[in-house]
Amino acid sequence: MTSAIMNERRQLINLAYRMLGSLADAEDVVQETYARWYAMTREQQEAIETPAAWLTKVASRICLDLLGSARARRERYVGEWVPEPLPEASAADPADRITLDESITMAFLVVLESMTPAERVAFILHDVFRYPFPEVAEIVGRTPAACRQLATSARRRIAEIPATPREQRANVIRDFKLAWRAKDINALIGLLDPNATVIGDGGGLATAALHPIHGNSTIAHYMVDLLTKAPDAVFLEQTVNGQPGLVIQYDGIVAAVMAFDIADERIRHIWAVRNPEKLRPWTIEK
């Protein structure tokens, strides 16, 4: 049974990361879930008909509790909070790797952040992991009909995320990288939506804008100013949360990871994570 139980680890990591937007928190949730399993007697464990379902239920409820307290924790966070970005291989151990699909993109995770805890958990369990509503209801503590309504509401928000082909995304980001490196303000303005937004996350541990930056002209000048202060920065086109993104290195060390939201061949949102605690998977991998 021990082997079968541990084989659920990757599924639980995938589930918890999508619910919390943090790999570190997801790992803590999975550790706590297993701690509760092994705290039971052998007889109690054997009495559980489907251990995998039990693990999912416990992990989901822990996530639900954490999401409930997240607002208070975010209020103490220095500056803006952005979900933790993931490289193409998010862990050295295959059992801990996050499956990269459309439910893991930064735009997807940011929309999830705007949902209530129950809405987020119900949607992820049903729409992403295909759990039936009666099981979702047991976890969330609502009726199946209420959970169906929660998932429907969440689905409407997710549907607003633009479906831009990967190749088009990659081309826009490459053009952005070249224009940024060349300090070509006019080219940058042309690549950015007039109402574009940049959100930086330094967490008080690295320099980052404390508030969102709005407007293509303002952003273009801001980006060029950043590069002027760090002329030796190295720009790498890499996969960020399953989509084309940029990684910025100084002296061979990952200093920032940037994810993008693109529609109609223009950049609408840039999420720039500089908090070194959130760059841990990138430091390990690179």
Give the burial string for 127-158 (b: 16+ CB within 10 Å, else e). ebeebebebbbbbbebebebbbebbeebeeeb
Mean pLDDT of 70-85: 88
Paired tokens of 248 = 């910025």
Judge whether 86 lies within some domain. no
Co-location of 138 and 22 in the same domain: yes
Using 50, 70 and 90 to split pLDDT, how confident is the model at 286? very low
Q: What's the one-letter identity of residue 63?
A: C
User: What span, in angstroms and rounded, lies between the C-alpha atoms of 5 and 145?
Assistant: 31
User: What span, in angstroms and rounded, lies between the C-alpha atoms of 139 and 20?
Assistant: 16
Whether 136 contacts 144, CB under 8 Å: yes
In terms of residue numbers, what domain contains 140?
2-79+116-158
Co-location of 122 and 183 in the same domain: no
Whether 51 contacts 247, CB under 8 Å: no
Whether 109 contacts 83, CB under 8 Å: yes
Using 50, 70 and 90 to split pLDDT, how confident is the model at 285? very low
Percent with pLDDT over 70 in the chain: 95
Co-location of 145 and 265 in the same domain: no
Q: Which of 60-69, 212-221, 231-240 has the largest mean confidence?
A: 212-221
Three-class secondary structure of residue 63 per DSSP? helix
Mean pLDDT of 37-47: 94
Residue 51 pLDDT: 92
Whether 93 shows a pLDDT value over 60: the answer reads: no
Co-location of 153 and 170 in the same domain: no
Judge whether 29 lies within some domain. yes
Co-location of 48 and 175 in the same domain: no
Judge whether 98 lies within some domain. no
| Mean pLDDT over the full length of the chain | 92
Mean pLDDT of 267-275: 97
User: What span, in angstroms and rounded, lies between the C-alpha atoms of 240 and 30?
Assistant: 23
Domain count, the chain: 2
Residue 284 pLDDT: 55
Angle at 219 between CA 218 and CA 225, to 5 degrees: 95
Q: Which CATH number characterizes residue 192's domain?
A: 3.10.450.50
Whether 88 shows a pLDDT value over 70: the answer reads: yes
From residue 215, how far is each of 18, 201, 268 by CA, in Å?
30, 18, 10
User: Which residues partner with 214 through β-bridges?
Assistant: 197
Which helix (H) or strand (E) covers residue 195, if one does?
strand 192-201
User: What span, in angstroms and rounded, lies between the C-alpha atoms of 192 and 203?
Assistant: 26
Co-location of 135 and 177 in the same domain: no
Residue 90 pLDDT: 53
Co-location of 122 and 181 in the same domain: no
Instruction: Return the residue matching tokens 């997807």.
Output: 108
From residue 211, how far is each of 31, 198, 216, 266 by CA, in Å?
34, 9, 16, 22
* String of DSSP letters for 64-105: HHHHHHHHHHHHTSSS---PPP--SS--SSGGGPPP-SGGGS
Using 50, 70 and 90 to split pLDDT, how confident is the model at 76? confident
Whether 95 shows a pLDDT value over 80: the answer reads: no
Query: Whole-model pTM?
Result: 0.91
Pairing state between β 213-214 and 234-240: unpaired
Using 50, 70 and 90 to split pLDDT, how confident is the model at 191? very high
The residue out of 130, 158, 186 marking a domain boundary is 158
Total length of the chain: 286
Using 50, 70 and 90 to split pLDDT, how confident is the model at 1? low
Q: Which CATH number characterizes residue 12's domain?
A: 1.20.140
Co-location of 154 and 170 in the same domain: no
Whether 274 contacts 202, CB under 8 Å: yes
The residue out of 129, 158, 187 marking a domain boundary is 158
Co-location of 146 and 252 in the same domain: no
Whether 137 contacts 143, CB under 8 Å: yes
Residue 163 pLDDT: 87
Judge whether 172 lies within some domain. yes
